[in-house]
Structures are given as C-alpha cells and as structure tokens.
Structure 1
C-alpha cells in the first residue's frame, strides 16, 4: 500500500513534489484497527498540459526502472530519463524518486537518484516495531548493508554485478531467491518492495483485458465471462451476454493427444488452433432476438469500460495500486463514479487496493446519490506556473468544509486554481483568422 510518492526533476515538475495518501480526516465510524492508514482513492485534477499525466508518469517511470533497469539499458549508453528541460541547469541535475509503502503491515521507504549517466544513489529502509532499519544504501558503486539485510555475502556478489545504469533492487530480484507471495512471518524487504512495483500497473489497450477470455483456462474463462457480462449489464450499454466461440477441435486439446497420434498430427492441430483462436462476441438485444457483434463493433465507451473494469478486477484481487490517466475518457460520469466506489467498498476491495487517477471531469468533485464521489483529502490539483514548472497540491490546503461546499462550482470558478487561463478574445480571434481550408470557397 502506497503512503506517499515524492519526486523531482521529472518532465514538467522541476522542484520536489509529494503526493501524500495519508488520510487528513477520519470519521468516527472509521476509527478501528481494520481501516488501512492510507487513502484507497486519489484523484488529480488540472487544466490541459498542466502536468497531471506527468505526475502519474513519474510513478510509471519509477516502476519501469525497478522492473526493467537490470536488462533494458545497454552498458555505456546511459539512462533515458526526462528531466525538466525548460531550465538548462535543472536538466543536468539528478532526477529523484521516493516511495513510502506499507508491506505486510510494515512501513518501507525506497528511493533513488539518477542522472543521464548512471544511478547516483539508491536506498531501502524498513520500520519493524516503528524504528528505522537500513536494508541497504548505495552511493555510486559503494554499498552499505543493514543488520537485517539477509546473507551479506550473497548481496555483495549481486552488488558486484549491478551495472552503473541498473538499480540494485532490479538486479537482486533477478538473481536473488524470493517467494512468489510475501510472508509477514518472514519478511524479505528487498523482494517485497520489488513485488509491489511489479504488480502496480497501468493499461490503456482495450484488447488486453478481453484477451483473458481466450488465454486462460476453461474454468477461469467462465469466471471472467461472468464478470464481463455483469459489468456491461450494470452499465446498460445494450449488451445482454458475452459469447466465447470455440476454436476448431477445441473439445480436444492438440497437446493432450496421446503420443500414438504422432507429432505431425499434433502440430497440425496446434497450428489450426493458432490460426483460428477463440473469438469473443457480444450479444445485443434487438427487435427479433439477439445479434452477435465483435469488439470492433462496440463503442469507444464500451471498450473503455471493459478495459478499466477488467483491469480493476485484477487489481482488486491482488491488493495492488492501479494508475489511470484520464479516467473519465469516453465514460459517463456515473460509470466513472461507480468504478471509483469499488475501491472504497470493503466487499469489493478486501485487500486494500488503491486507485490513483487523473481527470478533467469536475462532476467527480460533486456528489452522487447524496454521497461525495471523492472525499476532501482524496482530491489533488496540478498547476503550471509562468516558468512552465508544474506543482502538485491538495484540496486540504484550502481548508474545505465537510458539508455545504459546492466543490465542483468552486473549482470551475477558479477558487482552487488548476483551471485554464483562457482568453476568450484571443481564442475567438485565432479561430476567425484561420486561412481557407483546401477546397473551401472564399469570398
């Protein structure tokens, strides 16, 4: 679970910023030990080109470095980073990324500094019994270990093969030994931290979620199919069922044939299945019954709903953090609000998954069915100053009232900042002054 994310010198963000997920307000009904000590939903709002996507992009970049840096960077090439380039001095300074996490009930702090050439600093601390313990510290090629780091000889060997452009956390995950699941009774700070980054994800391709319907086992396929049907029926998009058509000879797996059949026949069957994979179709209710249509026939909103819904289901089952840029794209505000509410529901989110998203939709600052879509400490803004540098700040800086404050209207009126500074005169003048389009008649 993410407590906070700090970063600096990343794209439009020059100075250090912090996205803090620690609750600011707590209701009397929430004062019990079962409530996690981090927010489960955070929404980031702002004008176009203010830096909202860059905020989530900084988290995604940190994840990419952790998961891929040990093998994705060629020696001697340097690092591909994106510092603040509007200031020549800042572009040469290191970029910094730090997360505070709660893993198996224990706080962890992991971070690194990088420049164009190499990893300058890297560290991991954890806090068993509330006291900070060093797991490791890295200054260039020099490593220091804590008492609870594990077998120091093994770590020293892995440190010795860690490239200057690679993170030690990436390298130790690749070459060390770890369990597939964390064990609170026997914590492994290095591998538990890596696992959080690995599971944290961001997806935008509508076909990715549906691919689960044709690539998982038959038992899981039916479970995913029911989930898709439930999502679409709840959204009232006119789809009443989802049909997964069988591939040729699907009732007999080509690879389960007895050896006597011969390898040539088994390969022929496998090739046929590859050329004619199962197909997902959607049953729409018509005046004379149902008609089957493919994914390509569905609206952009339906495909977006499927993608987000299936991805959210995966995140909720794994207890990890989901990142969504422009959550409102192609979705009705009610559907967006319902998706957000899943992460607050103890029934839908028993493992404490988190949702961090960006949006332009001011309606998400309001209410639905007399309930706040987002609470006061779940709302953040991004604004860009006259020097082109973005800043990140929470709604709580404005001391908002719990009730009786129309945040949607106040935001659109500019009371919180983070809105476009639009000149109506210049906008109309630019449109009126456009030249003729090819083929357009002129007076």
Structure 2
C-alpha cells in the first residue's frame, strides 16, 4: 500500500509537497484500514484520497508526478539513452528552478512481506543527482544504498545488505536509476521493489485510452468469474441496463451489446455506438476498478466525475472504502471538482477531513497541497457547504457575476475604440 508521496520542482509543484495516506496519530478515523507491518505493529492507512481545487490549481499535476515517477523507474535503463536531457518538467515560472533538480519519493509497504520501504531520487538535466532506498523490516531504518553524483564515490552501500554491489555501481549509467538497472537483471532483492511500481500507480484520465479501457472491460466480460460482477455494476448504476451480451469472432475485438429493460420486463439490445457517453465511460471504468480491487493496486483517476453522475462517482469511492468489496488493500487516489463528494445526501461524510486534500496556487504560481484536516473542521460541520464557501481554501477567487461584468466591460471598450476609429476616419 502507498503511505506517502513527496515531490518538488515538478510543473506547478515548485516547493516540496507531501500527500499522505496515513492520518496523523491524534486524528483517528473510521475510514482507515489496519495494515500489518513486518515488525508486528499495525498502521492505519486510508484506502481513498480525493484531491479538490480550482481549475489550474495543480490537482492533476500530483497524479502526473506519480505517473512520471513510475515511468522513470520502469524505463530509465532502456529509454533514457535516447535523450540528451533527462525527461523532466521543472517549475517554469521562475528561471532559477530550471537548474534545480526534480525530487520524487514514495513510502510504501510490500503486501507479501509487510516491510515498509522508502525509495526516492532526484533528476538533473543530464544525470541522476541522487537516489536512495531504505527498508524498515523491524521498525528501524536500514539504508540499502545511497547515491550522490556530487561525491567522488557515487554509490554507498551501508551495512553490506545488497548483493552484487560492485557490479551494480560499475554498470549503472549516470543517466539511469540503479533500481531499474538491477531489475533488468532480475536482481533477487531489488526486483520486488521494482515490481511494486509495475503493479501500482495505474493512471486513468478521461481523455485518454477510453477505447482501450472499453476493450479491456469487454475482455473481462468473457470471463465467467468477472461477468456477474460487471453486470451487477452496470445494473446498480441505474442506467436501465439489465445485462450484457458479448461475443468475439476470431481476430476481432469483443463486440458488446448492453441489454436495456422495459417496464414490461422485456429486454432489448442497443448497438454500442448508440450508447450514451456516460454509459460508455462507466463501462470503461469498471474493468480497471475491478483489476485494482483484485490485485490490491493503487489506482489514479483524474476527474473522477467526468461523464459520471455524482451518485456513480460516490459509488466508486464506496467500492474502495468497503472492506467486504476491497479485500486486497487496493487504494484510490482521484481528483475532482465535484464538492458533493465531500458529504452524503442525507448527512454525514463520504470522506473524512484527512482524506480530502486541496490544491491552491500562491502568488508565484506554485501549488500548495494540504488536507482539510489541517484546517480542523468541526465534527458536525457540513464539509460541502464549508468548502464551497471558501472556508478551507481551494476554490476559485471569483466573485459572483465577475465573468459577465468582465465580458460587458470588454465589449464596451471595443465599441468605444471602434467609434473613436470611425470618428478619426471621418475627420
């Protein structure tokens, strides 16, 4: 499970920002799960976090940063040789940050061992400036390796825990991560850490891979053990769907028809191209959701409410929050503009204050990321009302009617300029 993510100097995330799935010790929550660690202790972890904020405040950049960290781990050894500069996007609104490194770090727990790990690195323009891996098998930190490109001896391996140390140090290029290099040779100790990145931080955005996700869900419909679950999720979406047909001819993608019920109890099939975009978006999301729940993976969803009714977005959150549905420790990290996800229609909270994170830009254009718990809302406070009223920050600083007034003012200025130009032409 993912415990914490830190990032700095990436896009609008100028200063170091921290996203935590672990609530502070003095803020207990009914939404957390107890995660058994290798030292015999239990750690409370949230299965769901939501990031809210105004447009262009940097919400999506948090997810993109996680995706870019994963991509670096998976591809630095094989792909980065083709680049003169390492692929990174430092903060662009202040020139001094172009020379600073981009920083990433994650804390996570490997499910099969219960060992907590911390892994991170810093990217410069042309080399890995630093890289580190720490383990906590008995609750105390073990430094497995530490890399610093500014030292004469770039790699250090305190305690001698890592096998093949000399070979790894000699064969890891300045522009590649040691973790990627080790996994390329199936290193027995480091490959499980590498595999965590392979199996987590799956990224879903509304504009990309929509057809591929539809095709993936259709493939799952062909599997008997998944068909019932997919059809049930289609039915509970209140889309009027009673079931699904799927067939696949040799060499072709599966062909899906959703069955729509009538008041008389009959069902009829609708051609896939005639289904609404909302229905197709929900169908495309079901496959990745079920895969994450089955594998215990971390799923990243940008704009969860995109093309989904708020009720359905809330149901996605509930799937990950419900222990009987989420039996493998899967986690959901999403962004959203939909403030209704903060509260339940009949009172109560869908998300605790520690699960609600806000993004807000400062005067220099840098994004600040913080949980609502830091604002210390009251136990009975309606989080939706308070958020929309601006009590927590993270909402547009836009007085009512300002856009309309600005447009009218612009039109008046343009009309005045045109009249002045016509007057000058007639004189």
TM-score by length of structure 1 reads 0.83
* Residue of structure 2 equivalent to 1:285: 261
Runs of at least 5 residues in structure 1 that lack an aligned partner in the other structure: 179-187, 248-272, 437-443
1:124-143 map, 5 Å: 124-140=133-149, 142-143=154-155
| Offset, 1:67 | 1.1
Is residue 51 of structure 1 aligned with residue 53 of structure 2? no
**What is the root-mean-square deviation of aligned Cα atoms in Å?**
2.5
Instruction: Classify the secondary structure of the residue corresponding to 2:270.
Output: strand
Q: Is the 8 A contact 1:213 1:280 kept in 2?
A: no
Structure 1 distance, partners of 2:155, 2:35, is: 38
* Residue of structure 1 equivalent to 2:350: 373
| Offset, 1:197 | 1.2
Runs of at least 5 residues in structure 2 that lack an aligned partner in the other structure: 37-41, 416-427
1:122-271 map, 5 Å: 122-140=131-149, 142-147=154-159, 149-152=161-164, 155-178=165-188, 188=189, 190-200=190-200, 201-204=202-205, 205-212=209-216, 215=219, 221-247=223-249
| Offset, 1:151 | 2.1
TM-score by length of structure 2 reads 0.85
Structure 2 distance, partners of 1:419, 1:336, is: 20
Alignment deviations for residues 359-399 of structure 1 (CA, whole Å, 9 cap, x no partner): 11111111245441101211111000111111011111111
The 3 A distance-change label for structure 1 pair 300 and 33 is closer
Instruction: Classify the secondary structure of the residue corresponding to 1:12.
Output: coil
Q: Is the 8 A contact 1:98 1:110 kept in 2?
A: yes
Structure 1 distance, partners of 2:167, 2:293, is: 37
Structure 2 distance, partners of 1:245, 1:302, is: 19
| Offset, 1:172 | 1.1
Instruction: Classify the secondary structure of the residue corresponding to 2:81.
Output: coil
Alignment deviations for residues 310-342 of structure 1 (CA, whole Å, 9 cap, x no partner): 211111111121111111111112211111011
Structure 1 distance, partners of 2:407, 2:33, is: 55
Q: Which of these residues, 73, 78, 89, is aligned with residue 82 of structure 1?
A: 89
The 3 A distance-change label for structure 1 pair 421 and 125 is same
Alignment deviations for residues 80-117 of structure 1 (CA, whole Å, 9 cap, x no partner): 11110100001211010111112232211100000111
My pick for the range that moved more, 20-29 or 370-379, is: 20-29
| Offset, 1:13 | 1.2
Instruction: Classify the secondary structure of the residue corresponding to 1:372.
Output: coil
Q: Is the 8 A contact 1:4 1:100 kept in 2?
A: yes
* Residue of structure 2 equivalent to 1:412: 388
Q: Is the 8 A contact 2:35 2:44 kept in 1?
A: no
The 3 A distance-change label for structure 1 pair 36 and 50 is same
* Residue of structure 1 equivalent to 2:421: none
Structure 2 distance, partners of 1:55, 1:327, is: 14
The 3 A distance-change label for structure 1 pair 26 and 211 is same
Q: Which of these residues, 388, 391, 407, is aligned with residue 431 of structure 1?
A: 407
The 3 A distance-change label for structure 1 pair 89 and 144 is same
Q: Is the 8 A contact 2:32 2:45 kept in 1?
A: no
Instruction: Classify the secondary structure of the residue corresponding to 1:157.
Output: helix
Structure 2 distance, partners of 1:122, 1:147, is: 17
The 3 A distance-change label for structure 1 pair 371 and 405 is closer
Q: Is the 8 A contact 2:101 2:123 kept in 1?
A: yes
Instruction: Classify the secondary structure of the residue corresponding to 2:203.
Output: coil
* Residue of structure 2 equivalent to 1:401: 378
| Offset, 1:425 | 5.5
Size of the aligned set, in residue pairs, is 395
Q: Is the 8 A contact 2:32 2:47 kept in 1?
A: no
Is residue 121 of structure 1 aligned with residue 130 of structure 2? yes
Alignment deviations for residues 268-287 of structure 1 (CA, whole Å, 9 cap, x no partner): xxxxx22x443122122357
Structure 1 distance, partners of 2:359, 2:217, is: 38
The 3 A distance-change label for structure 1 pair 320 and 214 is closer
Q: Is the 8 A contact 2:215 2:253 kept in 1?
A: no
Instruction: Classify the secondary structure of the residue corresponding to 2:104.
Output: strand
Structure 1 distance, partners of 2:403, 2:31, is: 50
Is residue 390 of structure 1 aligned with residue 390 of structure 2? no
Q: Is the 8 A contact 1:212 1:224 kept in 2?
A: no
Instruction: Classify the secondary structure of the residue corresponding to 1:37.
Output: strand
